[in-house]
Chains A and B, each alone.
Chain A
């Protein structure tokens, strides 16, 4: 089976900083994959390169076999990305935002799916509200909704629960778990390690643009008996 995401020997530098330093890994279809590391590990740079927002110095990334540079149109169609920053377009309502995002992906008359996403993210009552009037948590939910409008088989969540209340977190994870159960591949970066431990089947630990560990969550935990994922993380980072 073709990997959902294939990352081959990627290098990305910003001046003298090697943000990605020859990193390679495959993420299989249907996985709930955790990409963990301290600030500056290169997680967001890797996601940016995957999404076509950053250009690699060398190496390549493929989404379901499609190169993100040479075959960018097909690769981007297969990918839904929730960015880390809380960004929004202040001119539009929630529904307009989602309709416009659907159109960018070539989808017209997407209201049935938009309504379903709004329902699952508890945004139905805010559908006609302007984006400026939403709280931070609600704006975060709209970002998740925007990433899902085109039903991408691969969904990337870059710290989606940063600054989000407990109730929304639970609702969001329930929805994302359902999507994963339906076959969507989920790639998650988070600083909440208990979330990663509970959700992810496999985890990659990154530091300074390199891969320090890559294994199933069960194996990572088994290698450090009695330790929490947070302790495993800290021990790995101190190597």
Chain B
């Protein structure tokens, strides 16, 4: 029996849907890959054909959220790099919101600033795509191509904001907004000072 590409995509979607539901109702830690496979009505072995780990599932969920965030973000005309970055991340946060409670394991894996190789099924895409976006925004706002150190610095700030957000107890997570705003302003300010120093 041949498995068509559509069928494969549908199974993948189903896995992601039931995983979201299980994470939400039982918590991330208490949910096993077996639980997910059962709920998706597939064999555990089959599940691993799609996602090698539980983290990879969360990574894929994040990827999907990022894609939705980009669509939402497309029509924002930012006046500065800090505003553009703020708008990009805030759009992501809005999409991540249903997964806020289990963003922590992501921070330990594919979002981790020291992560080197990332599962190709999830995570890597968002990270690379995200950094490319940052780079292109920087160019758009006249701050040139970003050096690896700048990207690393950015990523540290970004994951720091995400970590803060995951545990933010302020009303409507308003403290995250302030931190994000400050962080992006700091990054853009630093870029500008680097640029003016090198001139």
Pairing of A with B: no
Partner-B contacts on A (CB < 8 A): none
